[in-house]
Amino acid sequence: MEGLILILGLLAGAYMAWNIGANDVANGMASPVGAKAITLKQAVIIGGVLDFVGATFIGSHVAETIRKGIVEPSAIQDPRVMSLGLLAALLAAGLWVFISSWKQIPVSTTHSIVGSMVGFGIAASGFSSIRWWALGGIVLSWIVSPFFACALGYGVFELIRRKVLAGPNIVRRGVMLGPFFVGVTLFIIFCSMLLDTPLGNRLGLSPAYRTGLSLLISLALALLSRTWLRRLLKRRSHEGVEGVFRRLQILTACYVSVSHGANDVANAIGPVAGIYIIYKTGAMSPQAPVPMFLLAFGGLFIAIGCFTWGYRVIETLGHQVTELTNTRGFSVDFGVATSVLLASKLGLPVSTTHAAVGAVVGVGLARGISAVDFRLVGKICFFWLITLPISAISCMIIFAVLEGIFL
């Protein structure tokens, strides 16, 4: 019986990972597609490959199976009940993300799995098993993520517009200020890769040392970029400053994709790891170590999701919310990357999906309210609000069915 539950868990994990790839590839790749920095085909290929790399080689090796501490570990005593609950959570979350992708709406896969775990906890052990205070952080993230990224996206584009695009000598301004944007962008990427990540921890260096190392490397590359910018603008003068930001935008978009794979693979593979540990040991563990093959398994299906259905949500974020150019697209990706990094380091709950939408809206607002399709934004926000309850109710129904079959 446990073997069958494990097989079903692997299939459900593959389904959830596929849905994550289909919905969340837009977080990094929508803006370069909208700004015509890369094609849609290139976006799903690049996003899929980088998501796989992030999930397999940088993804957390200790994924919380009881997501975000929502369910009290002591509330569920029977390992088989826990396995069935994790299976139900994967199916419920995967189903909601599938429906959202079909509707071309970006939603948080993390919130989907959290809502599913709430539903499982209530169905298995009652309302007292839920850490309701922890849900306050989820509600806070609905506000923090989009507004923080919106403000950053707006501010960065305003800075570019006033300091680079406004007035004469645009190319000269681009060469002067370009290295600043290169350096800041690279610093964000290096800090994100080295601070509080398995990759950074394996280096055996203190956080302060890793931050200093990121700063020195970024400064060196920023200084070297001045020569690169001069040659680029001389060789491709027809592209102008937009051409410079086109390349920076692709760089930040690639970072968002790698980071997404590393962070969100746990939404699919964390519960699978819990089922796997129960199958192997017959006991439960609130934190289940994730074998490398499971990370690769999750990364593979995230990539397949990007390849096969990722274009649907990219179309919404890249084209329908607001019109994007390379400078606007860079501002979007910079806002997403920076807000996710700063919020996570400050201990604030953050959703990459919510940040991506907020940054797109912020850049659009820099051109005026009429530049943003607020009817579509309202529809997206509605889907965000119902993610938790829909996932919870779906999980309760699925768990009841599984309990009737297996128990």
List average pLDDT for each run of 10 residues in the chain, which is 407 residues long: 92 96 90 89 92 81 60 84 95 97 93 93 92 81 85 91 78 78 84 74 82 93 84 63 80 82 85 90 74 90 94 90 88 84 67 90 91 94 94 98 92
Answer yes or no: are the C-beta atoms of 96 and 394 closer than 8 Å.
yes
- Residue 169: predicted pLDDT: 73
* Domains: count for the chain: 1
- Residue 27: predicted pLDDT: 87
Q: Which domain holds residue 95?
A: 2-406
Q: Which long-range contacts (CB under 8 A, 24 or more apart) does 382-388 make?
A: 383/100, 383/103, 383/105, 383/107, 384/107, 384/108, 384/111, 384/142, 384/354, 385/142, 387/96, 387/107, 387/108, 387/111, 387/112, 387/115, 388/111, 388/114, 388/115, 388/118, 388/135, 388/138
- Residue 88: predicted pLDDT: 97
- Residue 150: predicted pLDDT: 94
What does the DSSP 8-state code read for residue 56? I
**Token match 């968002």: residue?**
256
- Residue 60: predicted pLDDT: 66
- Residue 285: predicted pLDDT: 72
